[in-house]
């Protein structure tokens, strides 16, 4: 876990003090809301539908128990007792009162957290694989690189007024759990002739023009990484379309200029600025790596686990669904679902946060992660502790065995909170989860990712859902478009639209028809929805979604 140095601590405190002054001036009327807006956005404070919203960064999704407890304290003291984990490893508080926000930021600073660069046209919270440092398939822990990028990009003078927001994600494993191909820059750590470095992918993104990133450089050594990234961002800063905010993202620049032209410009810029970077970044990286040294793993029997697995059906279902392979055989990676059927995906109450913090202390080597799928991860749990952990989670409704299943839905806040929303997203997720829980089909259906956004901005990643749902406004009525076949992993694909959208009342039944069709046409029980879609294409699913009407069938 990274620990702030004196510079980090002083920097964050200074920003808190500065913002306190700005809030005071807004409260006493010396600043208008318009004048205050850019100042609050510099500190992650949005104005949503009903209230302000504070977006707090969780760099590369990593938290320690004290930080999680502090989030619970903040939720209780200045919000409504819960927080919302987002698809970008942030937590959002939906109901702060403006005069309280400086106190919230101070409370965050007490545990080395802040809301800087969680908004605005700048490099946003750097995200990473939520299984970092634990996954069996990992080549290298992506977090030291992510931290290096965080330090380089935070308050970087050249990058405070970029053409648009800029998002960087890092993975160090074969499986992509960070959706790196849908980011402005995605880094995939890899080895080349024994040396560790990164593949640089650029120009991915969701939103209104979804695009999959392209490989800009197959391998860059860590020594060259920061000047190379600086060259990429600088080239875009110069070329990026400031005339049209919808065309301002780097994906459009890459599309308009072509990847070869961008690569040539980046190389040119890189050659120019490389001499300005000394080797201190490598020293910094070595120091940072030290903070992320893996815990000492215990070597002890796993009998308690085996006994519970054999005798307790609920535990077995949970273990089969929510555990992932750890690099140490005696351990498991636990994904805790925030998606109990009928609940708001990504919401955690303060009581739940405290249980998670204590679980991490008792059984999880003091580590927690937030995933882009809006769940919480305990990356290092010895198998013998899993039954106790499961019991503790069960007590606060956190033991739902649904990771990767149909009710493990990503949903943005949509019309329930977001000022940009064109439709509701949360109730659609709740409706689908509740319906398939009633049908008791969830485990039979198997791996399936549904992702829902309440508008074209795609905060809920609907483009890369196996089933994507996009809520739109059609003449004042909510309408939901379905896309199929999207994929947010190492084989990223943007989903295809099925056809006309569905009304709010129709969307859950439409999903039900889609799933019934899948169960009908799958080759065998292990053929996933995505595999079936890839084998058969849109045909059977479209037929299920848009059955011919009785009348028109007769007329024909």
Binding site for ligand SF4 (CB under 6 A): 412-414, 418, 420-421, 425, 453-455, 457-460
In three-state secondary structure terms, 67 is helix
154, interface contact from ligand SF4, ligand HEM, none, CB < 5-8 Å by kind: none
Are 74 and 140 contacting, i.e. CB atoms less than 8 angstroms apart? no
* Least distance in angstroms from the C-beta of 89 to ligand HEM: 9
Q: In angstroms, rounded to a whole number, what is the distance separating the alpha carbons of residues 450 and 471?
A: 13
164, interface contact from ligand HEM, ligand SF4, none, CB < 5-8 Å by kind: ligand HEM
* Least distance in angstroms from the C-beta of 407 to ligand SF4: 19
In three-state secondary structure terms, 416 is helix
Identity of the residue, 386 or 459, whose beta carbon is nearer to ligand SF4 in the bound complex: 459
433, interface contact from ligand SF4, ligand HEM, none, CB < 5-8 Å by kind: none
Distances (CA, A) of 147 to 3, 168, 197, 281: 11, 11, 15, 11
* Least distance in angstroms from the C-beta of 529 to ligand SF4: 23
421, interface contact from ligand HEM, ligand SF4, none, CB < 5-8 Å by kind: ligand SF4
DSSP 135: B
Are 225 and 237 contacting, i.e. CB atoms less than 8 angstroms apart? no
CA 460 vs. chain centroid, Å, equals 9
414, interface contact from ligand HEM, ligand SF4, none, CB < 5-8 Å by kind: ligand SF4
* Least distance in angstroms from the C-beta of 46 to ligand SF4: 10
Kind and range of the H or E run holding 468: strand 467-474
* Least distance in angstroms from the C-beta of 337 to ligand HEM: 16
* Least distance in angstroms from the C-beta of 65 to ligand HEM: 24
Identity of the residue, 334 or 411, whose beta carbon is nearer to ligand HEM in the bound complex: 411
CA 285 vs. chain centroid, Å, equals 24
Identity of the residue, 353 or 494, whose beta carbon is nearer to ligand HEM in the bound complex: 494
166, interface contact from ligand HEM, ligand SF4, none, CB < 5-8 Å by kind: none
Identity of the residue, 374 or 384, whose beta carbon is nearer to ligand SF4 in the bound complex: 374
Identity of the residue, 53 or 220, whose beta carbon is nearer to ligand SF4 in the bound complex: 53
* Least distance in angstroms from the C-beta of 242 to ligand HEM: 13
Please state the length of the chain.
556
Are 446 and 526 contacting, i.e. CB atoms less than 8 angstroms apart? yes
* Least distance in angstroms from the C-beta of 88 to ligand HEM: 5
Question: What number of other Cβ atoms are within 10 A of residue 552's Cβ?
Answer: 8
Tokens of 505: 């009342």
Identity of the residue, 36 or 309, whose beta carbon is nearer to ligand HEM in the bound complex: 36
Kind and range of the H or E run holding 187: strand 185-192
48, interface contact from ligand HEM, ligand SF4, none, CB < 5-8 Å by kind: ligand HEM
Residue nearest to ligand HEM (CB): 207
* Least distance in angstroms from the C-beta of 14 to ligand HEM: 26
Question: What number of other Cβ atoms are within 10 A of residue 328's Cβ?
Answer: 17
Identity of the residue, 332 or 450, whose beta carbon is nearer to ligand HEM in the bound complex: 450
Spatial CA neighbour of 432 closest among 523, 345, 379, 507: 507
* Least distance in angstroms from the C-beta of 470 to ligand SF4: 8
Taking every pair of C-alpha atoms in the chain, what is the biggest distance, in angstroms?
78
CB neighbours of 33 closer than 8 A, spacing ≥ 6? Answer: 26, 47
Q: In angstroms, rounded to a whole number, what is the distance separating the alpha carbons of residues 184 and 251?
A: 7
Are 129 and 171 contacting, i.e. CB atoms less than 8 angstroms apart? yes
453, interface contact from ligand SF4, ligand HEM, none, CB < 5-8 Å by kind: ligand SF4
Give the burial class of 73: count Cβ atoms within 10 A of its Cβ; 0-12 exposed, 13-18 middle, 19 or more buried. Answer: middle
455, interface contact from ligand SF4, ligand HEM, none, CB < 5-8 Å by kind: ligand SF4
Spatial CA neighbour of 61 closest among 188, 150, 121, 159: 150
Give bridge partners of residue 214 from the DSSP assignment: 202
Residues in contact with ligand HEM by the rule CB under 6 A: 46, 48, 53, 86-88, 92, 164-165, 167, 182, 205-207, 249, 412-413, 418, 420, 457-461
86, interface contact from ligand SF4, ligand HEM, none, CB < 5-8 Å by kind: ligand HEM
Identity of the residue, 87 or 407, whose beta carbon is nearer to ligand SF4 in the bound complex: 87
Where helices occur in 364-452 by DSSP H, the ranges are 386-394, 426-439, 442-445
Identity of the residue, 45 or 398, whose beta carbon is nearer to ligand SF4 in the bound complex: 45
87, interface contact from ligand SF4, ligand HEM, none, CB < 5-8 Å by kind: ligand HEM
Is the alpha carbon torsion for 102, 107, 112, 114 positive or negative? Answer: negative
Identity of the residue, 378 or 458, whose beta carbon is nearer to ligand HEM in the bound complex: 458
């Amino acid at each position: 876990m990274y620990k702030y140095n004196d510079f980090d601590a002083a920097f964050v405190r200074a920003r808190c003090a500065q913002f306190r002054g700005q809030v005071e001036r807004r409260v006493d009327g010396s600043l208008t809301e318009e004048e205050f807006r850019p100042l609050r956005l510099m500190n992650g404070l949005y104005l949503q539908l009903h209230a302000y919203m504070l977006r707090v960064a969780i760099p590369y999704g990593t938290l320690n128990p004290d930080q999680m407890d502090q989030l619970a304290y903040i939720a209780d003291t200045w919000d409504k007792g819960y927080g919302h984990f987002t698809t970008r490893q942030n937590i959002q508080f939906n109901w702060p009162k403006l005069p309280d926000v400086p106190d919230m930021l101070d409370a965050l600073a007490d545990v080395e957290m802040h809301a800087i660069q969680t908004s605005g046209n700048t490099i946003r919270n750097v995200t990473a694989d939520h299984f970092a440092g634990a996954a069996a398939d990992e080549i290298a822990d992506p977090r030291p690189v992510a931290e290096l990028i965080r330090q380089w990009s935070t308050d970087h003078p050249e990058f405070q007024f970029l053409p648009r927001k800029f998002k960087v994600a890092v993975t160090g494993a074969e499986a992509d759990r960070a959706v790196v191909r849908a980011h402005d820059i995605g880094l995939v750590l890899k080895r080349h002739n024994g040396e560790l470095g990164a593949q640089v992918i650029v120009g991915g993104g969701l939103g209104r023009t979804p695009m999959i990133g392209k490989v800009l450089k197959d391998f860059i050594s860590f020594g060259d990484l920061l000047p190379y990234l600086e060259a990429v961002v600088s080239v875009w800063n110069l070329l990026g379309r400031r005339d049209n905010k919808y065309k301002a993202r780097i994906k459009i620049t890459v599309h308009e200029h072509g990847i070869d032209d961008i690569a040539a410009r980046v190389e040119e810029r890189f050659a120019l600025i490389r001499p300005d970077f000394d080797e201190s970044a490598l020293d910094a990286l070595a120091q940072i790596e030290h903070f992320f040294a893996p815990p000492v793993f215990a070597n002890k029997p796993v009998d308690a686990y085996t006994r519970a697995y054999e005798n307790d059906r609920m535990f077995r279902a949970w273990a089969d669904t929510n555990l992932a392979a750890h690099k140490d055989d005696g351990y498991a990676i636990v994904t805790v679902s925030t998606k109990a059927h009928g609940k708001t995906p990504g919401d955690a109450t303060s009581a739940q946060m405290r249980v998670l913090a204590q679980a991490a202390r008792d059984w999880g080597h003091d580590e927690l992660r937030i995933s882009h799928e809006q769940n919480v991860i305990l990356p290092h749990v010895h198998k013998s502790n899993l039954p106790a952990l499961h019991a503790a989670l069960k007590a606060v409704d956190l033991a739902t065995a649904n990771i990767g299943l149909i009710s493990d839905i990503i949903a943005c806040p949509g019309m329930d909170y977001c000022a940009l929303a064109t439709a509701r997203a949360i109730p659609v997720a709740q409706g689908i989860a509740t319906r398939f829980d009633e049908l008791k089909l969830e485990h039979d259906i198997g791996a399936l990712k549904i992702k829902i956004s309440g508008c074209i901005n795609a905060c809920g990643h609907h483009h890369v859902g196996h089933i994507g749902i996009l809520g739109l406004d059609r003449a004042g009525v909510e309408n939901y478009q379905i896309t199929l076949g999207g994929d947010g992993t190492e084989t990223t694909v943007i989903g295809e639209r099925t056809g006309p959208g569905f009304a709010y009342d129709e969307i859950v039944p439409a999903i039900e028809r889609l799933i019934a069709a899948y169960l009908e046409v799958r080759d065998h029980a292990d053929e996933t929805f995505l595999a079936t879609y890839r084998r058969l294409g849109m045909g059977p699913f479209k037929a299920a979604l848009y059955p011919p009407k009785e009348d028109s069938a007769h007329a024909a």
